[in-house]
Amino acid sequence: MTTQNDRLLKQADYLVEVAQINAIALYQSARKDFLFLQDVNVKHWESILTIAGIFMAANQLKNLRLNEQREQILRRRIAERLVQWEPGYAIRGFEDCESFFERAFASLSGHNHRFTASDAVGSWIVWNILGRPANSDEEWKLVRTVGASVTYNFFNWWQEKIARVPVGDNDIV
């Protein structure tokens, strides 16, 4: 299959851009529901949520049951796009998200399985946004909200899309 017609490589190419759009949209809605976000640095929010979305999609590559070489090609493409987007931070942020997610997922395995992945990634997001773990009911509500949104939007990233999401002059399939 040529790169030009490779659906998964195209999705890897657009992942960072779509994750950024998702992060911005989520900030617009979250700051209305969570007044303590009014003073959050929007650029920092965008970076953290973009990385979380990219991580969630990349984490699902293993579920596609691709051969190891194919999965590595896709992971390299995602890493290239991360470096292009934020050369000094994105890879470290991705690795931090991955490490945190694995620990949090394991520690949450005894609670509501429906929300294990979303609460794990949401905890990483909120910890990085606030500079500390969530400790109030309102902050835990934010964990669930942002975690569920990122999980919902990127968990099935690699599946064929029915709708098209416009990005500039190109469309994401």
User: Per-residue pLDDT tens for 137-149?
Assistant: 999 999 999 999 9
Whether residue 16 is contained in a domain is answered as: yes
pLDDT digit string, tens, across residues 55-71: 999 999 988 989 999 99
Domain housing 30: 3-161
Q: Is residue 138 part of a domain?
A: yes
DSSP, residue by residue, 3-37: GGG-HHHHHHHHHHHHHHHHHHHHHHHHHHH-GGG
- Residue-level pLDDT at 90: 93
Closest CA to 71 of 138, 9, 15, 126: 9
Would you say 33 and 144 are in contact if contact means Cβ atoms under 8 Å apart? no
Asked if residue 78 belongs to a domain, the reply is yes
C-alpha closest to that of 93 among 149, 14, 23: 23
Look up the pTM and report it: 0.86
Q: DSSP label at 109?
A: T
Q: What's the rounded mean pLDDT across residues 121-128?
A: 97
Tens of pLDDT, residue by residue over 108-118, are: 776 667 788 89
Residue 105 lies in a domain: yes
Does the residue 173 lie in any domain? no
4-46 pLDDT, tens digit per residue, is: 568 999 999 999 999 999 999 999 999 999 999 988 999 999 9
In a domain, 98, yes or no: yes
- Res 107: pLDDT: 83
- Residue 168 domain-assigned (yes or no): no
Q: How many domains are there within the chain? A: 1
How many alpha carbons lie under 13 Å from residue 53 in its C-beta half-sphere? Answer: 28
- pLDDT > 70 in the chain, percent: 87
Q: Do the domain assignments include residue 166?
A: no
